[in-house]
Amino acid sequence: MIFNKDYTKIIYLYKKITSIASSNIREKQLLYEIHKSKLFKFGLFIRLFLIIFCLPYIQKIWFLEFINNSLESLSINPWQAHLNAGGDIKAFPYGYIMYLFYLPLTTLGWLLDKLLNLESFARFGFGITTLIFDYGILLGIIRLLKNYSSKLLLIAYWCSPVIIYIFYWHGQIDVLPVFFLIYGLSLLQKEKTHLAGIFLGLAISSKFSMLASIPFIFIYLVRNKRLKNKLNIFFASIFITYFFTILPFIKSNSFQLMVLKNSETEKLFSVFISYGYDIKLFLLPTIYLLSLYLVWRLERINLDLFLISIGLGFFSLLLFLPPSPGWFAWIMPFLVYYQLRSKDHYLLSTLPFFFIYLTYNLLYSTGADISFINIPTELPLQKLFGFNNSKLKSILFTGLQATGLIVCARMYLFGIVRNNYYRGFGDKLAIGISGFIPDYINDIFKSFENLFGPRSISFLEVSDYKKSKNHNYLQASKSLLNPNSYNLSRLTKDLYLLADGKSILQNINNSVRKIESYDFIFINGIHSLTIKRLRQRLDLKIFFEIDKELDDYFFTKNNKNNSYAFISKSEKKEFNNYQESQFKYSDLSFKISPVNSNILKTKEKIVIPKLKLFVKMANGFFHEELIHSLISLCGMHIDVEQTSFSDDVYLCIEGEATKEDINQIANILIPNLEDLLICNPLWENGYKGLIQLIILVHISNLLYKASSSKNYV
């Protein structure tokens, strides 16, 4: 054998594990890039170096001492054991889960220490545990965001001095709850609601203040069509997990003393404005409520927005807490997320904050003992150097909070006001569909409700705006094509009202119907594109054409929308003019034709024949990806016509595509599809599904364009 069998086995096992962590192809690529990157190795090296040579002071006097005491007495209740051994009451204000997860490797090290009569392996075990969950947070971030560069992610998280400082120099262990939180959120996004609830439960159980994230998650779930119906399961599983992991010790005095009544909890009420003798305004709850309200007020929240808002919520809390270096670990993954979203803007606003954070904490918080240097580096530098300038401390602290506040403001402005991948639907999206559309095809537009969810589309039918019977003096044929036989100004007005968010009343055959204003407005009928003012408000203009030969199949002869009825020459000419103008106005047009026209003439029975679909759309948009997917995934036949000087490209698509095919292609073509559609979208089969798909790609592109071109403050 040319290379070690065990080694390959380990690699194989590792691949298995990470492939569970990342089922998605893009995630795999990101993982591969990350593991290969020099930045990753660099970050790993620094971590290992610090774990081996530096022992953070708080780990020495608190965490390791606590675990040591519990191991020495072999007690099930570590808090009791610790207090019995005369340990510090502040040593371990975390839940049992924190203890359990840190226990195995630390115990292993502890046993080794006992055997070899050393005092190193326990702390290695402890440090390695931190490293594992630190790496876990990195994986969690990858699971949450697939579309960003690995390099940026490594710079922002893995090589961040703040992360390294908190976990390996100062030595906080918030890494575990943060890991549970991030991983729980990624599971939630993948609709693994039970597991997500368990992870969130574990997060709260290991550190109670993680509870602060729950209201934000609640708002997100309530607003998310896809996840809304899983609310109960999610919260039940959080509660059950929390309950069962906290239950065994809830009655223990030592647990109550060290965890439930710890001074960290009191910090919540330590910052206040005094309103005279005995009234205080506690700032933290006030700010927390305010940030919840701001998030609640958002029209629609998707994943990006949600993550940034949790980060913002945490951040605003930290600004009104007495300085506590470990707590900043909570906001880091969200700051990373924000950084990746806003790229260049980020550094300017966060660098001062990070810089002051590190300066302040190096000066005033405890550090770590370096094993090969004989200087008490575990002391705060201010003590080490022996200067004591309380004014400097206050100035630095003010700087810290001020720069933090600026980061918060930037996050709010960029992330939330400017919005994210798809605009927050503050503006309605109006789509006009024109042409002689048989009911059979008309269903396609209704079927968009199976994608966007009920109460997401306002439908307007041009035929509902036909002028009343009093206008009967118009000729029969004219009454169909002539725009004057429709109340188009009323239609336009209604569209603008709906687009403005107002509901409208329609009066049809003396009965009044109310149409609510939803995210999408579909206007449907032969004159949807006829008037300029109407066209101007339409975000997407679609024209539909049915091959003449198919009229028999699609229209019954006495149908009101029957183009078949045009017999005389002048009528035909008018009809052709109509078709031409609508085609010209459209951004996107579909034509349905029979695959083989000769067969039709001989056929007597009305059976829908095999059809092909002609599509006109803007050149250079997504037709190449579409063609690739249709050919490779569905084995369809496609002709492309693309004249070099035309802005449009013409496709002729032939073949059978199932709704599963369409669903899969949609996932390939549309980024962040899950933000756009409901949980289990129901696609149509065949060319109807294709039409849905092509329209949806256009819609997603419009929403994206709108969000990226929007100005921000």
Q: Which residues pair with 434 in a beta bridge?
A: 543
- Residue placing its CB nearer to other proteins in the complex, 181 or 634: 634
Tell how strand 520-524 and strand 457-461 pair up: parallel
Using an 8 Å Cβ cutoff, are 459 and 445 in contact?
yes
Output the smallest distance, CB 142 to other proteins, in A.
15
CA atoms within 13 A on the CB side of 543: 20
Write each residue from 654 to 673 as x if it is in contact with other proteins (CB under 8 A), else as -, in one continuous string.
Answer: ----x-xx--x---x-----
Output the smallest distance, CB 686 to other proteins, in A.
13
- Residue placing its CB nearer to other proteins in the complex, 26 or 471: 26
**Which one, of 547, 555, 648, lies nearest residue 594 by Cα?**
547
Chain positions 287 to 316 lying near other proteins, rule: CB under 8 A, are none
Q: Does the protein bind other proteins through residue 634 (CB under 8 A)?
A: yes
3-state secondary structure of 381: helix
- Residue placing its CB nearer to other proteins in the complex, 36 or 343: 36
**Which one, of 467, 533, 438, lies nearest residue 494 by Cα?**
533
Output the smallest distance, CB 502 to other proteins, in A.
43
- Residue placing its CB nearer to other proteins in the complex, 23 or 463: 23
Among left, alpha and beta (phi > 0; psi -120 to 50; other), residue 94 is beta
Chain positions 5 to 64 lying near other proteins, rule: CB under 8 A, are 8-9, 11-12, 15, 19, 25, 28-29, 32, 36
Handedness of CA 616, 622, 627, 633 (dihedral sign): negative
Output the smallest distance, CB 20 to other proteins, in A.
12
CA 629, distance to chain mean position in Å, is 25
Return the residue of 149, 635, 639, 682 that touches other proteins, per CB under 8 A: 635
Stretch touching other proteins by CB under 8 A, among 187-195, 262-270, 547-555, 628-636: 628-636
d(CA 186, CA 442): 38
Please give the angle made by the CA atoms of 230, 236 and 238, to the nearest 5 degrees: 105
- Residue placing its CB nearer to other proteins in the complex, 273 or 668: 668
**Which one, of 165, 201, 160, 213, lies nearest residue 326 by Cα?**
165
**Per rule CB under 8 A, count of chain residues that contact other proteins:** 26
- Residue placing its CB nearer to other proteins in the complex, 2 or 74: 2
Q: One-letter amino acid identity for 667?
A: N
Write each residue from 123 to 162 as x if it is in contact with other proteins (CB under 8 A), else as -, in one continuous string.
Answer: ----------------------------------------
Output the smallest distance, CB 15 to other proteins, in A.
7
Tell how strand 429-434 and strand 368-370 pair up: unpaired
- Residue placing its CB nearer to other proteins in the complex, 31 or 221: 31
3-state secondary structure of 524: strand
d(CA 238, CA 67): 27
Return the residue of 2, 74, 375, 476 that touches other proteins, per CB under 8 A: 2
Output the smallest distance, CB 660 to other proteins, in A.
7
Output the smallest distance, CB 624 to other proteins, in A.
9
- Residue placing its CB nearer to other proteins in the complex, 15 or 584: 15
3-state secondary structure of 445: helix
520-524, strands of its sheet edge to edge: 457-461, 520-524, 429-434, 540-546, 588-594, 611-618, 648-654, 637-641
Stretch touching other proteins by CB under 8 A, among 226-234, 582-590, 591-599, 625-633: 625-633
Output the smallest distance, CB 139 to other proteins, in A.
18
Using an 8 Å Cβ cutoff, are 197 and 235 in contact?
yes
Output the smallest distance, CB 698 to other proteins, in A.
23
Stretch touching other proteins by CB under 8 A, among 219-227, 246-254, 438-446, 632-640: 632-640
Output the smallest distance, CB 687 to other proteins, in A.
16
- Residue placing its CB nearer to other proteins in the complex, 1 or 476: 1
Return the residue of 633, 652, 679, 702 that touches other proteins, per CB under 8 A: 633
d(CA 400, CA 397): 5
Output the smallest distance, CB 215 to other proteins, in A.
37
3-state secondary structure of 593: strand
Stretch touching other proteins by CB under 8 A, among 252-260, 409-417, 609-617, 623-631: 623-631
> Which residues lie closer than 8 Å to 301 by C-beta, 6 or more apart?
219, 220, 223, 224, 295, 309, 424
Other Cβ atoms closer than 10 A to 294: 16
Q: Does the protein bind other proteins through residue 483 (CB under 8 A)?
A: no
Output the smallest distance, CB 621 to other proteins, in A.
17
DSSP state of 281: E
Q: Does the protein bind other proteins through residue 642 (CB under 8 A)?
A: no
Output the smallest distance, CB 2 to other proteins, in A.
5
Using an 8 Å Cβ cutoff, are 56 and 124 in contact?
no
Using an 8 Å Cβ cutoff, are 636 and 653 in contact?
yes
CA atoms within 13 A on the CB side of 693: 31
Output the smallest distance, CB 651 to other proteins, in A.
16
Output the smallest distance, CB 8 to other proteins, in A.
6
The encoded tokens of residue 11 equal 């690699």
Q: What is the 3-state secondary structure (H, E, C) of 357-368?
A: HHHHHHHHCCCE
- Residue placing its CB nearer to other proteins in the complex, 36 or 90: 36
Output the smallest distance, CB 134 to other proteins, in A.
25
3-state secondary structure of 261: coil
Return the residue of 556, 632, 642, 646 that touches other proteins, per CB under 8 A: 632
Helices (H) and strands (E) in the chain, counts: 34, 14
CA distances from 209 to 322, 330, 357, 385 (A): 15, 10, 21, 34
The encoded tokens of residue 106 equal 């630390």
- Residue placing its CB nearer to other proteins in the complex, 361 or 692: 692
- Residue placing its CB nearer to other proteins in the complex, 4 or 558: 4
Chain positions 452 to 471 lying near other proteins, rule: CB under 8 A, are none
Residues contributing to the site for other proteins (CB under 8 A) = 1-3, 8-9, 11-12, 15, 19, 25, 28-29, 32, 36, 628-629, 631-635, 658, 660-661, 664, 668
